[in-house]
């Protein structure tokens, strides 16, 4: 197997197993068995399990963030000092995500499961890696979100962004099941892009909902 094919096989196997079983529960032996390679190949190409986890995320996030940076530059040029509309910002992010996973419709769902695991499992090295490698472009994006939600306090915006992330991870990681249930109940097929179209107004309304004092 050529080196390029070996790396791809390892990443494919790791991506699927991590998303199905979790990071801690997936051993390098599980990955090498699924990939059809020996352990030495993983050590040679990645060096460690932590580095392999980071490489799995980088394979999706590097093209995603390059595209998002370009889209943000174009949006900022169009705004000419005006605050962007929140639905437009959310559509920009979702459109970029769809482009990043264009080669496989399943990849976006798998990546969203991995993103959820990054939050719920103790992967401090991964969060540090993501901040170092991709923090700048997400900081640019969040500056625009702040402009689009001027009535929110920083604390409220923090919580609502994470609630929004939770709803997005749940919806997109289980999109296959959701679309199957919807087709059974309503007799209409839908794809991941249509699911996102339904999700965006919900997220925008939740993020910008008036604050209710308790």
- Provide the CATH number for the domain around residue 38: 1.10.10.60
| pLDDT over 90 (residue 101) | no
SS3 153: coil
Please indicate, yes or no, whether residues 92 and 157 belong to a single structural domain of this protein: yes
The residue count of the chain comes to 214
The tokens for 70 are 């370009």
Considering the chain, what is the average pLDDT of its residues? 89
Q: Is residue 97 part of a domain?
A: yes
With both helix axes pointing from N to C terminus, report the angle between 49-79 and 28-35 in degrees, rounded to the nearest 10: 80
Q: What is the C-alpha to C-alpha distance for residues 55 and 38, in angstroms, rounded to an integer?
A: 18
Please indicate, yes or no, whether residues 97 and 166 belong to a single structural domain of this protein: yes
CB atoms within 10 A of CB 190: 16
Average pLDDT of the residues in 130-159: 93
Please state the domain count of the chain.
2
**What's the confidence (pLDDT) of residue 61?**
92
Please indicate, yes or no, whether residues 133 and 191 belong to a single structural domain of this protein: yes
Q: Is residue 158 part of a domain?
A: yes
pLDDT band at 71 (very low <50, low <70, confident <90, very high): very high
| pLDDT over 60 (residue 214) | no
Q: Under a CB-based contact definition with an 8 Å cutoff, are residues 117 and 23 in contact?
A: yes
pLDDT band at 2 (very low <50, low <70, confident <90, very high): low
Please indicate, yes or no, whether residues 181 and 78 belong to a single structural domain of this protein: yes
| pLDDT over 80 (residue 122) | no
- Say how far residue 113 (Cα) sits from the centre of its chain: 8
Please indicate, yes or no, whether residues 101 and 36 belong to a single structural domain of this protein: no
Sign of CA dihedral 101, 203, 144, 193: positive
Q: Is residue 147 part of a domain?
A: yes
Which of 25-29, 94-98, 143-147 is predicted with the least confidence, judged by mean pLDDT? 94-98
Please indicate, yes or no, whether residues 43 and 63 belong to a single structural domain of this protein: no
Distances (CA, A) of 104 to 40, 49, 80, 97, 111: 28, 25, 36, 12, 11
Q: What is the C-alpha to C-alpha distance for residues 188 and 185, in angstroms, rounded to an integer?
A: 8
CB atoms within 10 A of CB 169: 21
Please indicate, yes or no, whether residues 2 and 59 belong to a single structural domain of this protein: no
Domain that holds residue 200: 53-207
Q: Is residue 72 part of a domain?
A: yes
The tokens for 202 are 């919900």
The tokens for 115 are 């993103």
| Domain closes at, from 47, 68, 84 | 47
Q: Is residue 213 part of a domain?
A: no
Which of 15-24, 35-44, 117-126 is predicted with the least confidence, judged by mean pLDDT? 117-126
Q: What is the C-alpha to C-alpha distance for residues 162 and 168, in angstroms, rounded to an integer?
A: 10
Please indicate, yes or no, whether residues 37 and 66 belong to a single structural domain of this protein: no
Please indicate, yes or no, whether residues 16 and 102 belong to a single structural domain of this protein: no
Please indicate, yes or no, whether residues 95 and 118 belong to a single structural domain of this protein: yes
Please indicate, yes or no, whether residues 76 and 182 belong to a single structural domain of this protein: yes
Give the helix ranges, DSSP H, for the chain: 3-21, 28-35, 39-45, 49-79, 86-100, 105-120, 124-148, 154-173, 175-186, 192-207
| pLDDT over 90 (residue 211) | no
């Amino acid at each position: 197997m050529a080196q390029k094919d070996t790396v791809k096989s390892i990443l494919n196997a790791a991506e699927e197993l991590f998303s199905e079983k979790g990071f801690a529960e997936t051993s390098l032996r599980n990955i090498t068995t699924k990939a059809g390679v020996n352990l030495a190949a993983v050590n040679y190409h990645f060096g460690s399990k932590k580095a392999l986890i980071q490489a799995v995320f980088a394979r999706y996030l590097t093209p995603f963030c390059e595209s998002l940076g370009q889209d943000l530059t174009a949006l900022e040029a169009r705004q000419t000092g005006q605050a962007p509309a929140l639905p437009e910002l959310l559509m920009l992010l979702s459109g970029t995500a769809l482009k990043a996973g264009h080669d496989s419709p399943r990849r976006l769902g798998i990546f969203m499961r991995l993103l959820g695991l990054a939050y719920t499992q103790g992967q401090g090295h991964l969060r540090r890696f993501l901040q170092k490698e991709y923090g700048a472009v997400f900081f640019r994006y969040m500056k625009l979100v702040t402009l689009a939600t001027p009535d929110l306090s920083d604390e409220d915006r923090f919580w609502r962004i994470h609630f929004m992330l939770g709803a997005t991870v749940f919806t997109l990681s289980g999109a296959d099941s959701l679309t199957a249930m919807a087709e059974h109940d309503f007799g209409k097929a839908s794809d991941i892009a249509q699911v996102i179209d339904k999700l965006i107004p919900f997220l925008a309304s939740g993020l910008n909902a008036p604050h209710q004092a308790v």
